[in-house]
């Protein structure tokens, strides 16, 4: 009788601890939903409220608790319902982790969806009674219960693989603690596939590992959120600010290059305007007067105000006028 009472106390304390942790996770994320940019944390935080509620019913319905006396094994059904919800949440949350910038969801909508599913679970167990039986006094665990535990373990293994693939999105310590937490949950689920009594050694081991799992979640969310709130809540915001600063710096460099190009174009345009404007030129010697009043040869003026270079030659008319004795253009003699 002492063992019976002590185990019931142990079970209640373990479950109450996990319920408090899950509820605290929800409270932190819900009250910080306007600041948390990581939808993975938002999704998990909201879901843990309903996981905590199912665990609370599981604790109250456990065999030996004088609350639900019409059936001794509601707790086994509630356990499976809560673990399915927890494992699927941990797996599906990675969808929102990869969709931070493309998919936006309303926390209130997620809350309503989980409330609907939780209500269906509770009604199917307590009212409609069509939730599959998980434990029988004469045979122990049912086939549905065992298969469900293995399916839940496979879902959790998938969560670990996705966590490993997305480890760059988490701090190293948080990634390690999350991996250990999911690993402890898997061991806990495997332990619950062997027990033949709700007070057996396998049940005891399973609850120990559940205790470890939720303690690690406590380390990740509660302790980190209280001691280092900026690291948890504003991690995504700080990363966004860093990317924004890098983009601003790149834009500043581009603007500098653009300003240099504009200056070169303006200088070239001013040169073109100088050469295309009215030029004071001597009607006899063809010299051009500059802005300072000095007269310069055409060659000097154009060379100074453009990139043109001169190559001197002589035209046919000047050749005949100044060098009549030389046939510089090899012209054929005129015919009579």
**pLDDT (tens digit, 9 = 90+) per residue, 142-175?**
999 989 999 999 999 999 999 999 888 777 888 8
Query: What CATH number should be reported for the domain whose range is 2-233?
Result: 1.20.1070
Quote the pLDDT of residue 184.
Answer: 93
pLDDT at position 1 is 41
Pairing state of beta strands 135-136 and 140-141? antiparallel
Q: What angle do CA 76, 82, 86 make, to 5 degrees?
A: 145
Residue 271 in this model has a pLDDT that exceeds 80: no
Q: Computed from CA positions of residues 162, 166, 169, 175, in that sequence, does the dihedral angle turn out positive or negative?
A: positive
Answer yes or no: is pLDDT of 231 > 90. no
> What pLDDT shows up at residue 104?
65
CA–CA gap between residue 296 and residue 114 (Å, rounded): 90
CA distance 21 to 48: 9
What pLDDT is stored for residue 82 in this prediction?
Answer: 96
Residues of the chain above pLDDT 90, percent: 30
User: Where are the domains positioned within the chain?
Assistant: 2-233, 280-329
- For the stretch 102-142, pLDDT in tens is 556 788 999 999 999 999 999 999 999 999 999 888 888 89
Q: In the chain, pLDDT over 70 holds for what percent of residues?
A: 79
* Strands 140-141 vs 295-296: parallel, antiparallel or unpaired: unpaired
SS3 140: strand
Query: Quick one: pLDDT at residue 187?
Result: 92
pTM score, whole prediction: 0.66
Tokens of 293: 């009043």
- Name, in order, each residue with C-beta under 8 angstroms of 326's C-beta and a sequence gap of 6 or more: 319
DSSP SS3 for 286 = coil
Contact 157, 182 (CB under 8 A): no
């Amino acid at each position: 009788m002492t063992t019976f009472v002590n185990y019931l106390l142990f079970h209640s304390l373990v479950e109450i601890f996990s319920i408090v942790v899950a509820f605290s996770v929800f409270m932190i994320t819900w009250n910080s939903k306007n600041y948390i940019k990581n939808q993975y944390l938002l999704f998990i935080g909201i879901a843990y409220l309903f996981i905590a509620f199912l665990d609370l019913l599981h604790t109250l319905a456990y065999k030996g608790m004088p609350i639900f006396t019409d059936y001794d094994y509601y707790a086994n059904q509630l356990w499976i319902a809560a673990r399915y919800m927890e494992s699927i949440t941990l797996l599906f949350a990675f969808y929102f982790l990869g969709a931070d910038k493309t998919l936006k969801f309303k926390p209130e909508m997620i809350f309503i969806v989980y409330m609907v599913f939780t209500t269906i679970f509770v009604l199917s167990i307590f009212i409609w009674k069509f939730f599959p039986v998980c434990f029988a006094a004469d045979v122990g665990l049912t086939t549905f219960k065992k298969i469900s535990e293995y399916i839940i373990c496979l879902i959790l293994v998938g969560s670990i693989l996705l966590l490993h693939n997305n480890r760059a999105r988490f701090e190293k310590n948080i990634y390690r603690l999350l991996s250990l937490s999911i690993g402890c949950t898997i061991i806990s689920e495997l332990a619950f596939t062997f027990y033949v009594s709700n007070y057996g050694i396998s049940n005891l081991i399973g609850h120990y590992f559940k205790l470890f799992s939720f303690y690690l979640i406590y380390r990740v969310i509660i302790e980190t959120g209280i001691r280092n709130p900026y690291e948890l809540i504003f991690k995504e915001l700080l990363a966004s600010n860093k990317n924004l600063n890098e983009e601003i710096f790149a834009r500043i460099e581009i603007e500098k290059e653009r300003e240099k190009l504009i200056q070169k174009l303006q200088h070239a345009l001013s040169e073109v305007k100088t050469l295309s404007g009215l030029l004071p030129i001597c009607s006899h010697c063809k010299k051009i007067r500059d802005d300072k009043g000095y007269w310069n040869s055409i060659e000097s003026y154009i060379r100074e105000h453009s990139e043109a270079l001169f190559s001197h030659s002589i035209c046919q008319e000047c050749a005949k006028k100044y060098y009549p004795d030389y046939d510089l253009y090899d012209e054929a003699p005129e015919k009579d």
